[in-house]
Structure 1
Amino acid sequence: MPYEGRYRLSVAHLLVALVAMFVVQPFVDHMAYGFLVASVFFTIVLLVAVNAVGGQRRSQIAAALLAAPAVGASWLQHVWPDSLLNDFYFFFSIVFIIYVIVHLFRFVVFAPSVNDEVLCASIAIYLLLAVAWALLYTLLALWDPGAIIFTEAADAHSKLEGFKSLYFSVQIITTITFGDIMPISDTARMLALVEATFGMFYLAILVSRLVGAYTGRNDSN
């Protein structure tokens, strides 16, 4: 088995870090230095994810090389605000998250049995998909401020970043939308459709995997 031994704690740690980031995010957006707190939690998620890609050394080295520029850019942009550095941060963060998702998905699909590690990895993948698309929406909103709009008057001057982008992403991936944030441009609509499709197909694959593993275990018994 190619992922032997590394997942026992690392996947659980990644899931805990992701849940903590989701819970803390709406509160830190209203704090004076909330962006620093958000960066701390996101950095923890990235660092824990490096350890969650598996037991092969080359996989972890590749993960560390992808995570390093994302972590560095996330902190540099606080002391040196620059649009190019901001784009650099989003690009490497998204690439790294995709890399982690691919490795965790392979682990879930090829695991010989369904256990706590597989369940933790499955949930972590779903949350990471929402985070990756939240970063994409934030990047799109920076490039095209009118691509995604707020329909509520109280949020008319808000920016799609931080918790708001995560909130919008979770709405799309779960296909439970409230109508307070709407994609307007064709690019934004395309991203929303792709995310919703990914979310539905992932849940379908996950359910079939769990049912198949359960059926196989009953047949062997």
Structure 2
Amino acid sequence: MIRFRYLRLLRRHPSALLLVVQLLGLFLYPAMEDTPDGRALFGAFGILVLALALWVVNRSPAINWVAWLLALPALLGSLLGTFAEIPHLLMLAQLMEAALYFYTAGSLMAYMLEDHRVTSDELYAAGATFTLLAWGFAFAFSVCQQWYPGSFTAAVNPALPRSWVELLFLSFSVLSGVGLSDIVPIQPQARALVMLAQFAGVMYIAVVVSRLIGLTLLRTKQGGASDGQA
């Protein structure tokens, strides 16, 4: 009985499951990127996140075939690139994954802005949208440093390419507005991407998050007024 209750909850709030899985990935990624077995697990985990992103976009006002058009090449490229060790194919897969995450984030933002009510699912969607943007820009940074070697540097091993965890850390840093951390873009293309991420983070907080907060406060105020009249 409890199991069916949780299944119903997940069907009602798919954004919550996507958010939990991506936050779980923050703890798993550091252990998965240094060994061949870990990289295989990294690819499998990425497929799981892709599947959840498709599930979420299927329950929001988005065109499903666009999501599948982005997801299928990303899935095939990720599998072949990881297990056959074809760097260019893996780079193409990461580019498609970035596009899918941005598309899913856009569809969730449209879902949150389509009415004047704030539901619990929209609050989960707000968190999931931020993580989708973070993942999308991290993949974009990864593609950038493969196309333009030396795009990013850091205080530790400055000449080496940045790892996935480092690029994801950079993505969270610039989207949240806390700064560039210890990862610095030095090529013009990388700086352009970082500026886009900064703009996206500021606009997301200014337009979507502030609107959800305003509607929640308005609903609380109206509820208090109704209780006072009663």
What SS does structure 1 have at the residue aligned with 2:63? helix
Structure 1 equivalent of residue 23 of structure 2: 19
156, 165, 168: which is aligned to 1:166?
168
**CA displacement at 1:149 relative to structure 2:** 1.1
- Runs of 4+ aligned residues of structure 1 deviating over 4 Å after TM superposition are none
**CA displacement at 1:109 relative to structure 2:** 1.1
**CA displacement at 1:197 relative to structure 2:** 1.6
Structure 2 equivalent of residue 219 of structure 1: 222
Unpaired segments of 5 or more residues in structure 2?
1-8
Structure 2 equivalent of residue 200 of structure 1: 202
Name the CA distance, whole Å, in 1 between partners of 2:198 and 2:27: 22
Structure 2 CA distance for partners of 1:57 and 1:116, relative to 1, 3 Å = closer
TM-score between the two structures when normalised by the length of structure 1: 0.86
Structure 2 CA distance for partners of 1:144 and 1:108, relative to 1, 3 Å = same
Structure 2 CA distance for partners of 1:182 and 1:47, relative to 1, 3 Å = same
CA contact (8 A) 2:138 2:167 kept: yes
Name the CA distance, whole Å, in 2 between partners of 1:186 and 1:64: 32
**CA displacement at 1:56 relative to structure 2:** 7.2
What SS does structure 1 have at the residue aligned with 2:14? helix
CA contact (8 A) 1:6 1:52 kept: no
Structure 1 window deviating more from structure 2 (97-106 vs 177-186): it is 177-186
Structure 2 CA distance for partners of 1:21 and 1:213, relative to 1, 3 Å = same
Q: Which amino acid aligns with 2:63?
A: S
What SS does structure 2 have at the residue aligned with 1:52? helix
Name the CA distance, whole Å, in 1 between partners of 2:135 and 2:205: 17
Alignment deviations for residues 49-82 of structure 1 (CA, whole Å, 9 cap, x no partner): 1111144798334323321111111110123333
**CA displacement at 1:173 relative to structure 2:** 1.4
Structural mapping, 1:1-221, within 5 Å: 8-55=12-59, 59-152=63-156, 155-177=157-179, 179-217=181-219, 218-219=221-222, 221=226
Structure 2 CA distance for partners of 1:146 and 1:77, relative to 1, 3 Å = same
Name the CA distance, whole Å, in 2 between partners of 1:168 and 1:98: 17
How many correspondences in the alignment? 215
Aligned-residue Cα RMSD (Å) equals 2.4
TM-score between the two structures when normalised by the length of structure 2: 0.83
Alignment deviations for residues 127-159 of structure 1 (CA, whole Å, 9 cap, x no partner): 11111111111111111112211222xx23532
Unpaired segments of 5 or more residues in structure 1?
none
What SS does structure 1 have at the residue aligned with 2:57? coil
Q: Which amino acid aligns with 1:196?
A: Q
**CA displacement at 1:123 relative to structure 2:** 0.6
What SS does structure 1 have at the residue aligned with 2:184? strand
Q: Percent identity?
A: 24
CA contact (8 A) 1:137 1:188 kept: yes
CA contact (8 A) 1:173 1:196 kept: yes
Alignment deviations for residues 103-126 of structure 1 (CA, whole Å, 9 cap, x no partner): 101111124421221011001111
CA contact (8 A) 1:6 1:54 kept: no
Alignment deviations for residues 161-186 of structure 1 (CA, whole Å, 9 cap, x no partner): 32121112112212323652211111
